[in-house]
Amino acid sequence: MLNITQVTKDILHWSETFVEVPHPSLGNFPPCPFARSARLKRTVGIFVGTDPYFDLETRCLQGMGEYEVIIYAYDPGEWTYDYFHGRLDAANRDFLLANNLLVLEDHPEDVEMVNGICMNQGAYALSILQPLTDLNSRAQAMEKKGFYHAWPEPYLEQLFQHRIDPRKS
């Protein structure tokens, strides 16, 4: 079983030292321009999950509460990428999208390289839950600033598979 104190420390450290940091390979933007604000406002909920599908189903019924982002961490040794991906994809399809929510994934077995930068947290399998309308409006605001210009097209196609692509609207 993962230790919530260590998980929280690791995820917040990753956010502060990577997710919030501007990168030249990403047009001098951080990977997530809104992560710092959410962290400082303490509107990121971090939990140790037990089952990716059912954790999301329960959260969908409970709502987001005071959180802008909810991250569930799992031991990647217990959840292979294929199974983890399948559970999150099913949750999006079965109930999240219909309830204005979207879960994004991060799993160490699915290394995400963007312009030579590894985007993965690395230690955990993560499900990252956010309201869909928030993601879409923030993506549109960042498109106006040129945020997506440095990102490779195949990565963006996958990123926007369940969302409004701001480059096309």
Q: Which long-range contacts (CB under 8 A, 24 or more apart) does 149-153 make?
A: 149/27, 150/25, 150/26, 150/27, 150/29, 150/115, 151/26, 151/114, 151/115, 152/114, 152/115
Q: Which amino acid is at 53?
A: Y
Residues 58/72, Cβ–Cβ less than 8 Å:
no
Domain boundaries, the chain: 4-159
At residue 34, does pLDDT exceed 80?
Answer: yes
CA distances 165 to 28, 116, 158, Å, are 21, 23, 10
Q: pLDDT-derived band of residue 94, with 50, 70 and 90 as boundaries? A: very high
Q: pLDDT-derived band of residue 92, with 50, 70 and 90 as boundaries? A: very high
Arithmetic mean of pLDDT, 88-115: 97
DSSP state of 162: T
